[in-house]
Structure 1
Amino acid sequence: MKYVVKLGGAALEDEKLLHLCGKAIFDLVSDGNQVAVVHGGGVQLTKTLAQMGKKSEFISGLRVTDAETRDAALMVLAGRVNKSLVAALGKHGQAAMGLSGGDGHVFRARKKKTTPDLGFVGEIAAADPRWLDAIWMMGAVPVISSIALGFDGEYYNINADEMAAACAICTKADALVFLTDVPGVKGADGNVMRWLSLKEIPALERAMVVSGGMLPKLNACKDALTHGVKRVRILPAGAAASLPDLLSSRVEDGTEVMVA
């Protein structure tokens, strides 16, 4: 089976959570699965920008990215965060290969057209999974930072949830799992929705029940499900140990997003 696991938020900041996630990914590979990890690093990037004297601004959950912010994203996401994840997997004896979406032209980007303009924020325009297949053939885990190279030669900051969906689609993954720092998608009553169909999402958005960073996440869920990915789940990072059981048994944590 093929899994794409997106890591972000507290899972990248908390050493115990990172250890837990690394162990779950190691267990998945040990069971004979192929796993790709896609990661963000927004918290770390915001901290670095603050140290540079730059204030972070977000619109609909997406970071406004000028040239200086883009260069910082390259340094933080494709550098420190990426290599820390490779090291976390290595602690469990799992070989991993860190790369950005621009390496090997695995993912190509185009500028995301928005009003107002977000700067060097991109969306995935093309994907070539051959390098990921080669890494899997060697028994390793590709660890991909959410940076992609445009056809114009510029690097673009990609929302990590969107990158994870694109990765799941191009590799024909069986499951896409978002390991997050929230318990799942909460309904109007404040309780986690164990099951969420795509047709329910627009009403949640209109009522502002979901907003901010959850918006691109749910859009990524929709993109994956409508392009052939069989299972999509938003799972709290603290429940990462249930990853190996996701496709074979009932998992109570998080939110399962379904077509209908």
Structure 2
Amino acid sequence: MKSAALQCNVLSDLVLFSCVGLRHVLVHGSGPEINAWLLRTSHESKFHNGLRVTDAHTMEVVEMVLDGKINKSLVDEINIFGGTSVELCGKDSRLLTARPSSESAVLGFVGEVARVDPSVLHSILADGHIPVIASVAADEAGQGYNVNTDTTVGKLAVTVGAEKLILLKDVAGILEDQNDPRRRAR
């Protein structure tokens, strides 16, 4: 949602859907914003197989941007549009438990979602609030991990039994054939 107008339209629609009784969860990342903040700290963004290589400094920036800046901004906008929303990240109430990526030697603090505990979401959704979740998680020992937003959304949707999954992206998302980006999953 690089366009402010598009972001306003999407968030106002989410509030409208909430007003008519649809319950939904907003999960976000923000690669471009992370890139910009890393540049501000003279830290180069590096990628491996489409995933951000995440050293300790990058992890600190990822958490600051996703859980602090972006999450708070989305919650504020939803509230301005008349909705009520709750800021969360995967670490909160152990919503998401991560494990190191199988490529952690190269990727650093990039994790995979090992477990989803949606119990915190049930009361938030039952009260008519919109949970806004930053794609950051921790392992059992509390180590933070940068987790891929797409796979996080998929695991969360399966765990809560979502009827629909909507991805808003500026890159190819879930594909029927990963070698053919024109063949998106339906």
**Given the two structures, how large is their TM-score scaled by the length of structure 2?**
0.93
Cα deviation, residue 116, structure 1: 5.6
Aligned to 2:84: 95
Matched, 1:44 2:33: yes
Matched, 1:129 2:118: yes
Matched, 1:104 2:93: yes
Aligned to 1:154: 143
Matched, 1:175 2:164: yes
* Structure 2 residue matching 1:179: 3-state secondary structure: coil
Aligned to 1:32: 21
Q: Deviations over 1:191-243 (max 9, x none)?
A: xxxxx983xx1xx51xxx43xxx9xxx9xxxxxxxxxxxxxxxxxxxxxxxxx
Q: Distance in 2 between matches of 1:159 and 1:104?
A: 19
Q: Distance in 1 between matches of 2:143 and 2:116?
A: 16
Instruction: Give the alignment of 1:111-126 within 5 angstroms.
Output: 111-114=100-103, 117-126=106-115
* Structure 2 residue matching 1:35: 3-state secondary structure: coil
Which residue of 149, 154, 167 maps to 1:165?
154
Q: Deviations over 1:27-76 (max 9, x none)?
A: 22122111000000111000000010011011121000001100111111
Cα deviation, residue 115, structure 1: 7.3
Aligned to 1:23: 12
Cα deviation, residue 152, structure 1: 2.5
Aligned to 2:129: 140
Q: Distance in 2 between matches of 1:153 and 1:140?
A: 27
Q: Which runs of 4+ in 1 moved over 6 A?
A: none
Q: Distance in 2 between matches of 1:85 and 1:117?
A: 32
Which residue of 33, 57, 63 maps to 1:74?
63
Q: Distance in 1 between matches of 2:17 and 2:48?
A: 36
State the Cα RMSD in Å: 2.0
Q: How many residues align?
A: 186
Q: Distance in 2 between matches of 1:197 and 1:16?
A: 27
Counterpart amino acid of 2:67?
A
Aligned to 1:252: none
Q: Distance in 2 between matches of 1:115 and 1:148?
A: 15
* Structure 2 residue matching 1:175: 3-state secondary structure: coil
Larger Cα-atom Rg: 1
Counterpart amino acid of 1:134?
S
% of aligned pairs identical?
32
Q: Distance in 2 between matches of 1:67 and 1:16?
A: 34
Are the equivalent residues in 2 in contact too, given 1:18–1:88 (CA < 8 A)?
A: no
| Structure 1, unaligned runs of 5 or more | 1-10, 186-195, 219-254
Q: Distance in 1 between matches of 2:92 and 2:125?
A: 16
Q: 1:26 to 1:73 in 2, by over 3 A?
A: same
**Given the two structures, how large is their TM-score scaled by the length of structure 1?**
0.67
Cα deviation, residue 150, structure 1: 0.7
| Structure 2, unaligned runs of 5 or more | none
Counterpart amino acid of 1:166?
K
Q: Distance in 2 between matches of 1:32 and 1:154?
A: 37
Q: Distance in 1 between matches of 2:83 and 2:170?
A: 24
